[in-house]
Amino acid sequence: IQVFDENASLLAAGDSQLSMAVPQGVQSLRVVANVQDDFGNQVSDEQTIQVLDHFRLQAAANALPFSALLPGVGDSYIAQGRGIVDNQGQQLAEFNSSVTALAHIGDRVIVALEGIGLIVADPFNPLRAFRQLSIETLVGRVSRLQVNNDRLLVIVDGEFKLYSIDGNAIEWMRDVNVDGAALDVVNQGDHFVLLSRNGLYQIDHSGNDLDQLHRQNGLSAMLPVDDKLLIATRDSGLLYRDAGGVMHQQEQDLRIEQLLALDGDALALADDGRLMVLDLRDIEAVEVIGNFDIGALPGAPLAIAQGQLWVGGAGAARYDLLRQASAPILLYQDDQPRGLVESVALIDGNAIEWMRDV
């Protein structure tokens, strides 16, 4: 067995098997296998492997501990204790209780204050930044806010609550009772998809129809991927829900606690503080293509803002995402080219071209 890089330089060789570390900067590998029996019969085969090295993490200065982070253009809004600060740690506003969650609502911001409620604030008010416009009383600690048009789904003390939004007013509609502690919520059209520790649910815009999409103990995180949904579990690998609503299982011992989208891939925080990079080009066969030992504490909030990865909580850290520049690698070329390619999309690991004049 021989392994060459894209410049035909030999990197490793072995008689029947080999183990190697891919050198930094290598863009592709060519693996050549030669087999010969005792009678002199010989056969050869080779495979080309694309090396994925999307980015590297580099610790950045001025890490800021935070409980919530709301990305924005230029600066983000970062919740620290009772205050909101910008990327440089300059205080923008201070409230009467700890800020635990943030969400955009048009040009305004919903601010969740622990033990007090939900405030709609104007961050651009010329007299006082984050001037309070309204308040909806809510006792408890809010961990998640998700806006969908004129509806708001809130996770407070491990429970889901649905609210309506009318201008600056927020009004309670109903408690959404599910099996297991509430973990996350995402939008799907004008519906909310809810993840609890023991199930996946969907609730419509009216708040009247709550459907259980999947029942399974030990769910931990979810991430929308185009018209599909990737779901992590504590001890049984990954699930994905296809566009038709069918659930599929992938047995992998990853123990993921959080998922973040990043340019067609996913960042996955494991329960031991490792950050993994998941290749989502083929959601039917998700692969781990990177591991970073960032030592994140359990439950630490993660966010991507201004091209950086932010890790909150007591072990606050901030990382630059350094991307490797590389030339395009030719994977396929038609020997009888025809037509004009107008657009290309990657769907479930397959390249789909749209052409005219064929």
Q: How do residues 88-107 score in pLDDT, each as one tens digit? A: 899 999 999 999 999 999 99
Mean pLDDT of 228-250: 91
| Per-residue pLDDT at 325 | 66
343 against 179, higher pLDDT = 179
Residue 231 CB contacts under 8 Å (≥ 6 apart), including other chains: 195, 200, 214, 219, 221, 222, 238, 239, 240, 241
Structure tokens at 202: 């969907």
Residue 78 CB contacts under 8 Å (≥ 6 apart), including other chains: 64, 66, 68, 69, 70, 84, 85, 86, 87
Query: How many other CB atoms are found less than 10 A from the CB of residue 308?
Result: 16
Q: What percent of the chain is modeled with pLDDT above 70?
A: 94
Confidence (pTM)? 0.81
Query: How many other CB atoms are found less than 10 A from the CB of residue 162?
Result: 21
Structure tokens at 128: 């006082």
Mean pLDDT across the chain: 90
104 against 354, higher pLDDT = 104
- Tell me the C-alpha to C-alpha distance, in Å, between residue 276 and each of 113, 226, 279, 353: 32, 21, 10, 31
Instruction: Evaluate whether 205 touches 187 at the Cβ level (below 8 Å).
Output: no
Q: How do residues 21-40 score in pLDDT, each as one tens digit? A: 888 778 889 999 999 888 88
| Per-residue pLDDT at 324 | 67
| Per-residue pLDDT at 209 | 93
| Per-residue pLDDT at 169 | 97
Residue 282 CB contacts under 8 Å (≥ 6 apart), including other chains: 348, 349
Q: pLDDT confidence of 348, banded at 50, 70, 90? A: low
Residue 239 CB contacts under 8 Å (≥ 6 apart), including other chains: 214, 216, 230, 231, 232, 233, 247, 248, 249, 250
d(C-alpha 60, C-alpha 88), whole Å: 12
Give the three-state DSSP class for 315.
Answer: coil
Sheet holding 199-203, edge to edge: 182-188, 191-196, 199-203, 210-215
Mean pLDDT of 126-140: 95
Distance between terminal CA atoms of the chain? 42
Q: How do residues 287-341 score in pLDDT, each as one tens digit? A: 888 889 888 888 899 999 988 999 998 889 999 988 766 666 666 677 776 777 7
Q: How do residues 37-91 score in pLDDT, each as one tens digit? A: 888 899 999 999 888 776 788 899 888 999 999 998 778 999 999 999 999 899 9
Instruction: Evaluate whether 313 touches 297 at the Cβ level (below 8 Å).
Output: yes
| Per-residue pLDDT at 175 | 96
Cα 313 to chain centroid, rounded:
18
| Per-residue pLDDT at 185 | 97
